Amino acid sequence: MRVGLVALGLVSAGIALIVASRGKQTATTGAPALTSAAIEAPITLATPLSVASPVDVDAGAAPFVPVWRVSNLSSDTTVEISEVKVGKHKSFIAAAMAAGVSRAEARRVAKAFEDVHSLGRVRPAETLVFARQRSSGRVVAFELQSSASSVWQAREDDAHRLTATQLAFHVESRDVRTALSIDTDLSAACGAVGHDDTLVHAIDDALHGHVAASDIRAGTRLRVVATEERVEGARAGVHVDAIEYTPASGSEAKAQRVYFYARAPGGTRRGPSGYYNALGQQPYQGAFRSPVPLARVTSRFNPKRMHPVLHVVMPHNGVDFGGATGTPVYASAAGTVVSAGNAGPCGNMVELRHAGNVTTAYCHLSKFASGLHGGQHVEQRQLIGYVGQTGRVTGPHLHFIAKRGGKYIDPLALKLDGVRVLPSRDRDAFRERRATLDAALDAISLPAAGAAPADAPTDEDHLAGD
Ligand SMILES: [Zn+2]
């Protein structure tokens, strides 16, 4: 059941599971085709700019009976609940015994699962939850949790027979219509309307390549049409269907809209899929991503920088991203950790080695991602640390360095820009979809333009060697 909803902090459970329901978003057939002029039409803002954003009400989610979970027994003092990640345990039996379950009871659970789901191939990321009767050690209930929405459960009946089944969760997708006004950063703006960083990442994905990260700053306003997936009433993921970006006044950037379009429903890989601008174009960037998603560039790479105070050439050998202390910093690309430690003027620094003789370094971190160490492989966008102001700096920011063959290069030059254009056979479907999404965007009141952008650190806040 789909329910209208404007971003409310109804449930804050941030389960990192993206369940994008792209299938239902494909264009309907039979609608009148738009003229080819429509695809080039400029964006018009149908709502007055000065109207404040109203907060809608949750129009009554469909009632549902929550699925029974092993955790329901947590108040039962006759039962002991133990949980174990499969992790390094090589088999279900070994993992169960690590959780305190006897071998005989572990076998009894495995037997109950025999025809339902093989416990012979448990994976390290899966979690096992056992509920045992304290007096006898007998397993009265058990769960194998593969993900938030994929859980198998065994439960005893009155005759102490264990029966296993896959849990059927109440899954609901809801429309999210929200307007964001950025005062400090996107994360705070999402928080202000009751959303967590799941929405920040979804917006980052939608705008990636279309809007420069440095253009998302104080005074920027966004209108967002999204679909939220809820599993058992808890938010489990969000997918941006369309987004409108209105730059801060004074910005040279132009207002623009971006739409999700996929030829094939269900998110299969056949046909084009992704975020396109009004003209059906999809800019893409190369292998490297911003280490601080959507943070603005406060100081660019400049090998001939004149120091603002000393008036001598003092190269700025990287790019600075603004960000409060504690803002997560992610690996720009997959690679190997060369080092993670104190590096003098650079403060706490992580250095990564990538393919193509490229290295990246992340300076002034307040702390490192837990357990990060030299030699470790990291994935693109894996958390490596947090913005800080260690080393020779006066304010928190990320100083991001890139080298090729050991020589400093402009980190922004790592991105190879290009534009994909929708194939002609997709144009009609795209126009229909765009019209539907435009109507949804138009219906969201844009918050009034904020006051003058807040002060942010500039070049002058740096000392030499940063
Ligand atoms: Zn710097």
pLDDT 10s digits, 242-299: 999 998 887 767 789 999 999 876 555 678 889 999 999 887 655 687 788 767 788 8
| C-alpha 226 – ligand 1 centre gap (Å) | 36
Residue 84 inside a domain? The answer is yes
How close is the Cα of 316 to the center of ligand 1, in Å? 6
- Please state the domain count of the chain: 3
User: From ligand 1's centre to the CA of 220, what distance in Å?
Assistant: 24
On whether residue 458 sits in a domain, the answer given is no
Same-domain pairing of 228 and 358: no
Kind of pairing between the strands at 358-365 and 348-354:
antiparallel
Same domain, residue pair 302 and 409: yes
Domain span holding position 307: 297-414
Same domain, 155 and 77: yes
Residues 216 and 269 in one domain: yes
If asked whether residues 183 and 85 sit together in one domain, one would say: no
Reported as type and span, the H/E element at residue 112 is helix 103-113
Distance between Cα 456 and ligand 1 center (Å):
14
Residue 180 Cα to ligand 1 middle (Å)? 29
Q: Is residue 448 part of a domain?
A: no
Distance in Å, CA 299 to ligand 1 centroid:
7
- Quote the ligand 1 centre to 306 CA distance (angstroms): 14
**461 CA to centre of ligand 1 in angstroms:** 10
Q: Say which CATH number the domain at 353 has.
A: 2.70.70.10
- Same domain? For 47 and 186 the reply is yes
How many A from CA of 73 to the centre of ligand 1?
54
Separation of CA 399 and ligand 1 centre (Å): 4
Q: Is residue 238 part of a domain?
A: yes
Is residue 141 domain-shared with residue 46, that is, in the same domain?
Answer: no
Q: Are residues 84 and 153 in the same domain?
A: yes
Specify whether 188 is located in the same domain as 50: yes
Q: Is residue 203 part of a domain?
A: yes
pLDDT of residue 446: 84
457 within a domain of the structure (yes/no): no
CA of 393 to the centre of ligand 1 (A): 9
* Distance of CA 237 from the midpoint of ligand 1 (Å): 35
Asked if 253 and 175 sit in the same domain, the reply is: yes
Which pairing describes strands 319-322 and 162-166: parallel, antiparallel, or unpaired?
A: unpaired
Q: 387-420 as b/e, with b when 16 or more CB fall inside 10 Å?
A: bbbbbbbebbbbbbbbbeeeeebebbebbeeeee
Ligand 1 mean position to 218 CA, how many Å?
21
> Of 113, 142, 166, which residue constitutes the final position of a domain?
166
How far apart, in whole angstroms, are the C-alpha atoms of residue 115 and residue 282? 47
Length of the chain equals 466
> Which positions ≥6 away from 254 have C-beta within 8 Å?
247
Q: Are residues 301 and 407 in the same domain?
A: yes
Residues 88 and 185 in one domain: no
CATH code of 134's domain: 3.10.450.350
Nearest CA-CA partner of 369 in 411, 401, 326 = 326
Domain endpoint, select from 113, 141, 166: 166
Q: Is 400 left (phi over 0), alpha (psi -120 to 50) or beta?
A: beta
Distance 110 CA to ligand 1 centre (A): 57
Residue 132 lies in a domain: yes
What's the distance, CA 330 to chain centroid?
A: 12
Residue 291 lies in a domain: no
Distance 466 CA to ligand 1 centre (A): 5
Each residue's pLDDT, cut to its tens digit, for the chain (466 residues) gives: 343 333 333 333 333 223 333 333 333 333 333 333 333 333 333 333 333 333 333 444 567 888 999 999 999 999 999 999 998 888 999 999 999 999 999 999 999 999 889 898 889 999 999 999 999 999 999 999 998 788 999 999 999 999 999 999 988 899 999 999 998 888 899 999 888 888 999 998 999 878 877 678 889 999 999 999 888 888 888 999 999 999 888 776 778 999 999 987 655 567 888 999 999 988 765 568 778 876 778 888 998 887 766 778 888 999 999 889 999 999 998 899 999 999 999 999 999 999 889 999 999 999 999 999 999 999 988 999 999 999 988 899 999 999 999 999 998 888 634 567 899 999 999 999 999 999 999 999 987 765 444 444 444 334 333 4
